Structures are given as C-alpha cells and as structure tokens.
Chain A
Amino acid sequence: GESVGLHLPTLSVQEGDNSIINCAYSNSASDYFIWYKQESGKGPQFIIDIRSNMDKRQGQRVTVLLNKTVKHLSLQIAATQPGDSAVYFCAENIAPSGSARQLTFGSGTQLTVLP
C-alpha cells in the first residue's frame, strides 16, 4: 500500500558537520510533507514542511528538498549540534478519503551527534 519510508535507521555525525536524512514516499498524489523531530520520551515536534508545488524550503539551519520525480525528500541540518540528537520522521499529510487529513509517518532515523 501507500507508505512513507526512510532509507537509513541510524545516522551518526560529528558535531559541526552537516546531516542529511532521506525519505522515500510511494504515493505520487501526496502534496504535503513534514519533518518531525522526536526526542526520547516526548511527542513529535514540527521542524519544517514543504508542499508539492515547491522543491526546496529553508528554515533556521534546516533545509528540506523534495524531488517529486523520484518521490524522495530529504532533511538537511547545517552545523549539527548535540541538541539535534533525536529520531527524525518524515510524514505525509494525506486525505485518504478526499476530505479529512491525517499524518502518515515513516519509520524514523536516529540521528546521533558525536562530540
């Protein structure tokens, strides 16, 4: 069925380096994608979103890239800091029945920032 998935379950980077987390999706009709960060014992926290009419969006130290041709999106974190250590989920905001929206999450990537 339709799903959002992640390429790598874990990623370790040195503090100060850039991080890239990847995500593939299978529903070509998906039009809205979000990256969430989840720290241990907490709920998902919104990082950045992108709609299908864009291919790039930048926030503070984060950039999301969307390639609709290959149904792939990525999250880039610049100058990774220890506080960035968390699980990162991509999610699709979809309307399976055409009206009400819901989030479909990928399986998550554990980012570990090394000192």
Chain B
Amino acid sequence: EPEVTQTPSHQVTQMGQEVILRCVPISNHLYFYWYRQILGQKVEFLVSFYNNEISEKSEIFDDQFSVERPDGSNFTLKIRSTKLEDSAMYFCASNVGALNEQFFGPGTRLTVL
C-alpha cells in the first residue's frame, strides 16, 4: 500500500540553525501539506501546496518557513533560523484531491536546543 514517508525521523538542532524536513508524498497525489504537533497538543495546519505554489498558510507559517517541491517526488519544509518553540512533531500529508482523504506520514520530531 502506498504511503507518505518522511526523513529524518528525529532531528536535533541548535537554536538559530536551519533545518530541512523532507517528505515523499504518495506518487499520484497532487495536494501536499505540512502540519505540526507540539507535544501533548493538537495537530495544527501550517501550509498547503498545489501546482507548485502555496495554496494556503497559517499564522504559524511566517517568513522563517518555506516549502519546496524540488523534483517530482520530494516535498520539503525549511525553517531558516530555528527557535526553541519550533520543537514539535512535523507531519507531511498528501491527497489526490482537495476533498479526498489526507494521508499522513509518520512525522519528524524536531528538537531545538
């Protein structure tokens, strides 16, 4: 069964450093998303991406965040200068259509020291 994959599973970084979180969505999917979940809290929407551009972004997704689909398979989330409060699980998701089921990856745990 096809699935969304994410790497790395755990990323530890120093405050102020740049990190890139990687995702490989399901191959025939057209819509891509990033969500984050701070420990013990609910999952929060960050950004949606379709047709090689951002469709929607939340207030969390400020100028420190960017997304890219550098090739036909990868979808990345970059945080330019990490802050302590960026520590969270980051989930990538994809779906074949905007009103179809979103499939989630296993997440990347980001720890900012």
B53, chain A: closest CB distance, angstroms: 10
Q: How far is the CA of A99 from the CA of B76 in the complex (A)?
A: 23
Q: Is the CB of A44 within 8 A of B99?
A: no
Contact status B35-A106, CB under 8 Å: no
Q: Chain B, 75-113, contact with A by CB distance < 8 Å: what is the 0/1 string? A: 000000000000000010100001101111111000000
Q: Is the CB of A103 within 8 A of B56?
A: no
User: CB-defined interface of A82-114 with B at 8 Å, one 1/0 digit per residue?
Assistant: 000000010101011101111111111000000
Q: Taking the complex as formed, is A43 at the interface, i.e. its CB lies under 8 A from any CB of chain B?
A: yes
- Residues of A in contact with B (beta carbons under 8 Å apart): 32, 34, 36, 38, 41-46, 49, 89, 91, 93, 95-97, 99-108
Q: Is A102 touching B99 in the complex (CB atoms < 8 A)?
A: no
CB distance from B93 to the nearest CB of A (A): 8
Q: Chain B residues in contact with chain A, CB under 8 A?
A: 4, 31, 33, 35, 41-45, 48, 50, 55-56, 58, 91, 93, 98-99, 101-107
Q: Can you name 17 extra interface pairs (CB under 8 A) apart from A96-B56, A101-B48?
A: A41-B106, A41-B107, A42-B106, A43-B91, A44-B104, A45-B104, A89-B42, A89-B43, A91-B43, A99-B55, A100-B56, A102-B33, A103-B33, A103-B43, A103-B102, A107-B42, A108-B42
Centre residue among A32, A34, A42, A102 by max chain B CB count within 10 A: A102
